[in-house]
């Protein structure tokens, strides 16, 4: 079975995730994993997409999943989100999971508050869904958009609504499928900051699928690379999130190794974490 392995174990002997005073939740190793994937395989016709995946995500852990297009990242996320039927025993989620996609997927005929409240329609919180929706929209900074229509929102605001809709159910596992890839650079910075703030406040586990190496390094405790349907490599990102500048030797080393695992020739890192590193285009 293909397990997550560190390509440079001699240089990262301490596998303890980021638990520094930046109030990072980090995994609590004594707890059961929020998500457990065991020997998980997926095929569409004759095309094998995932090959015997093994993966644990600990409570409070932030994991980034990288890989080229078609490698199975979104397929794995859909399995974790329970959006696709998977064989019994291969994927176990403890608690609720929720997902935010690259496209906000808001219903244009419902106002912002109602779009968020829809996530609670079939839950025990149904009777309190509007109040909970308003409270969550406050968390993402959209108090003034409760009664707005989706078409009145900017791209960043629409993505905040999508994030609020995922967050309103208080999930144990938040799944993010390239949610910031269509945003401009400054909005991406704001969204990164917002996600980290919400993650620290709610202490949930997060899995983000991204093509952006620098985004993964800025956000995650652990970065994994999916290659030909297998989880081939993983890195623990040790430095505090306020000490992850490209000039940090540890960040520079991990970045070079990730790009190498993706088959991309490294180029000089960016001055900021916000602009995109698209592995599909061979850019970094």
Tell me which residue range forms the domain holding 32.
Answer: 9-96+172-281
DSSP symbols for the chain: -B----S-GGG--------STTT-----TTSPPSEEEEEEEEEETTEEEEEEEEEEE-TT-EEEEE--TTSSHHHHHHHHTT-S---TTTEEESS-EEEE-SS----TTS-HHHHHHGGGTTSTTGGGHHHHHHHHHHHTT-GGGTT--GGGS-HHHHHHHHHHHHHTT--SEEEEESTTTTS-HHHHHHHHHHHHHHHHHH--EEEEE-S-HHHHHHH-SEEEEEETTEEEEEEE--S-GGG--TTSHHHHHHHHHHHHHTT----PPPSSS-S---GGGT--
Same domain, 86 and 186: yes
Task: Render the burial of 39-76: b for 16+ CB within 10 Å, e for the rest.
Answer: ebebeeeeeebbbbbbbbbbbbbbbbbbbbeebbbbbb
Q: What is the pLDDT of residues 243-284, one digit of tens each?
A: 999 899 999 999 999 999 998 877 665 544 444 444 444 433
Same domain, 87 and 153: no
Number of structural domains in the chain? 2
Domain end position, chosen among 139, 170, 201:
170
Query: Residue 126: pLDDT band by 50, 70, 90 thresholds?
Result: confident
Same domain, 243 and 189: yes
Residues 6+ apart with CB under 8 A from 30: none
Q: What is the pLDDT of residues 155-192, one digit of tens each?
A: 999 999 999 999 999 999 999 999 888 888 899 999 99
Q: Give the pLDDT mean for 137-166.
A: 95
Query: Residue 97: pLDDT band by 50, 70, 90 thresholds?
Result: very high
pLDDT at residue number 173 = 96
Q: What is the pLDDT of residues 40-63, one digit of tens each?
A: 999 888 888 999 999 999 999 999
DSSP symbols for 212-258: -HHHHHHH-SEEEEEETTEEEEEEE--S-GGG--TTSHHHHHHHHHH
Same domain, 22 and 121: no
pLDDT at residue number 91 = 95
Closest CA to 167 of 122, 218, 119: 119
Same domain, 241 and 149: no
Domain end position, chosen among 147, 170, 193:
170
Q: Give the pLDDT mean for 137-156.
A: 95
Same domain, 159 and 176: no
Same domain, 89 and 214: yes
Closest CA to 68 of 178, 226, 218: 226
219 belongs to a structural domain: yes
Q: Give the pLDDT mean for 235-250.
A: 92
Distance (Å, whole) CA 51 – CA 116: 35
Same domain, 206 and 268: yes
pTM confidence score = 0.81
């Amino acid at each position: 079975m293909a397990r997550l392995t560190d390509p440079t174990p001699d240089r990262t002997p301490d596998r303890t995730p980021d638990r520094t005073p930046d109030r990072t939740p980090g995994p609590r190793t004594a707890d059961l994993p929020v998500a457990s994937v065991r020997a998980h395989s997926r095929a569409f016709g004759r095309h094998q997409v995932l090959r015997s995946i093994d993966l644990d995500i600990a409570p409070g852990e932030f994991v980034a999943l990288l890989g080229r297009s078609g490698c199975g990242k979104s397929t794995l996320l859909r399995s974790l989100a329970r959006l696709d039927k998977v064989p019994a025993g291969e994927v176990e989620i403890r608690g609720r999971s929720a997902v935010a996609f690259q496209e906000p997927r808001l219903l244009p005929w419902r106002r912002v508050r109602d779009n968020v409240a829809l996530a609670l329609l079939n839950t025990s919180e149904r009777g309190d869904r509007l109040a909970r929706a308003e409270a969550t929209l406050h968390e993402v900074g959209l108090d003034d958009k409760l009664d707005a229509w989706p078409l009145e929102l900017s791209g960043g605001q629409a993505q905040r609504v999508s994030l609020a809709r995922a967050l309103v159910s208080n999930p144990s596992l938040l799944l993010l499928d390239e949610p910031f890839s269509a945003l401009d650079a400054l909005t991406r910075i704001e969204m990164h900051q917002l996600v980290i703030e919400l993650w620290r406040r709610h202490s949930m586990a997060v899995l983000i699928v991204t093509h952006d190496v620098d985004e993964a390094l800025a956000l995650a405790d652990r970065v994994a690379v999916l290659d030909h349907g297998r989880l081939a490599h993983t890195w623990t990102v040790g430095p505090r999130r306020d000490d992850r500048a490209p000039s940090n030797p540890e960040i520079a080393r991990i970045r070079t190794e990730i790009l190498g695992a993706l088959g991309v020739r490294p180029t000089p890192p960016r001055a900021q974490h916000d602009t995109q590193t698209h592995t599909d285009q061979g850019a970094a």
